Amino acid sequence: MKKTLILGLSILTTLHTYAQDTDSVAIRRIYNEALTNGKSYEWLRHLTKQIGPRLSGSAGAQKAVDWTKQIMEKEGFDRVFLQEVMVPHWVRGAKEEAYIQTGKQKITVPIAALGGSVATPPKGLQAQVIEVKSLTDLEQLGTEKIKGKIVFYNRPMDPTKLNTFEAYSGAVDQRANGATFAAKYGAVGAIVRSMTTANDDNPHTGSMRYGTGVPLIPTAAISTNGANQLSSLLKQNPQLTFFFKQNCETLPDAKSYNVVGEIKGSERPDEIIVVGGHLDSWDLSEGAHDDGSGCMQSVEVLRIMKALGYKPRRTIRAVMFMNEENGLKGGIGYADYAKKNNEKHIAAIESDNGGFTPRGFGIVGTPQQKAHVMAWKNLLAPYGLHEIGPGGGGADIGPLAQQGTALFGFKPDSQRYFDYHHTGIDKFEAVNKRELELGAASMAALTYLLDKYGLPEATAVK
């Protein structure tokens, strides 16, 4: 009996070691393919340089849809299709103007209208300024001190946060809700410090939203250098005024598409693993890190599998989501599509944190699912993927969680991301080829493990 038990344990140990060795070889082949024959970088070059900005509803967004569909068809994926979604259509109009007036001196500062904002009056808006650090500060001041003024939100991202996404989360409420709170107390406009730890002259746009029951006042982001200058001058002259002019407007919703490509599973085709990013970008630049990188990495995952002759057990699907930046209609529409068609998504991986050096994956799922994935850490650690554990999945794949799908957010190094985020300098030249390819390989390696071993079942949220 004892000998039988020892023999059984020996066989299990041998089988486990063999499986680990087989997986190590497979993952090594994935990285070799990405780093020697990868296409993600040249695809990104075309997306950014030949197509450029891709804000939802724009001609650029439609060109990106058509071209991405073409490259997936050219790669010979088993199925490529478009999924229709209606998306917001906001346009910036002529370039914004802004200056600080203190006495007779006019000091020009860089601003960018926030996505969804209304325009100023045709000749612009000029008023005294009141600086606050938070929405709470605003409430404490009240209508008497705010009415008729431009509210200047000047709370910086916390530079002590090592994870810059945590710092972003701690500051972005003033961008999203600042105009509504300011209007509630009678403000005529709102200016928000750009969401970055860098001190430069690049204003960072981004989405904002208006609440109900308050006037719609114009709102814009000011560069960090501009914010520092405005704050300093206010201390010297609290009576100074700020002028800004912007010409944006919201048009009727437009028809657009998610772009989907897949390789059919050979054993469990009804179980789907998604890899994806969002195809839309803000209108100020090429959207290279946000999120051209994630899109091209996702298509590359499927290309790598085909190039290696890998036959997945489950269906692997690359999804280019539309409208993450100012509405999330693509992510919501995709989840609705999956539910309507009774599709079973066991896992979804999103890349929307830039094309920088890979660090790991954040996991949203049950404790059993997290433990299952943590067992793969020794296979992924040789490739710098040490940060594997609880964390965010991604905005576009988030709606799939209602169906019990485990979510994985690809985590590159975060230190440089907010230098480029939503700015005019988020260009192809800011992306490093090797870092981009390592990210695609990392996503492909996790996809391989998810496909081979699956995940413990989770109960969908009702």
Residues identified as active-site: 324
Contacts of 109 (CB under 8 A, 6+ apart): 98, 99, 100, 222, 223, 225, 226, 229, 230
Cis peptide before 291, with omega less than 30 degrees from 0?
Answer: yes
Q: Label residue 240 exposed, middle or buried (CB < 10 Å: 0-12, 13-18, 19+).
A: middle
Q: Label residue 229 exposed, middle or buried (CB < 10 Å: 0-12, 13-18, 19+).
A: middle
Q: What are the C-alpha distances in Å from 217 to residues 289, 315, 335?
A: 31, 48, 34
Report the distance separating Cα 41 and Cα 39, nearest Å.
Answer: 6
End-to-end, the C-alpha distance of the chain in Å comes to: 49
Helix or strand holding residue 306 (H, E): helix 293-307
Angle at CA of residue 199, ends 293 and 180, nearest 5° = 80
Q: What is the CA radius of gyration of the chain?
A: 24
Angle between helices 293-307 and 59-74 (to 10 degrees): 10
DSSP state, residue 50: I
Report the distance separating Cα 280 and Cα 286, nearest Å.
Answer: 10
> Beta-carbon neighbour count of residue 211 at 10 Å?
12
Give the DSSP per-residue string, 95-140: PPEEEEEETTEEEE--EEEPBTPPPPPTT-EEEEEEEESSHHHHHH
Contact in structure between 111 and 244 (CB atoms under 8 Å): yes
Return phi, psi of residue 185, to 5°.
-105, 15
Nearest to 221 by CA among 320, 110, 97: 110
Task: Say which residue the tokens 């190039």 belong to.
Answer: 307
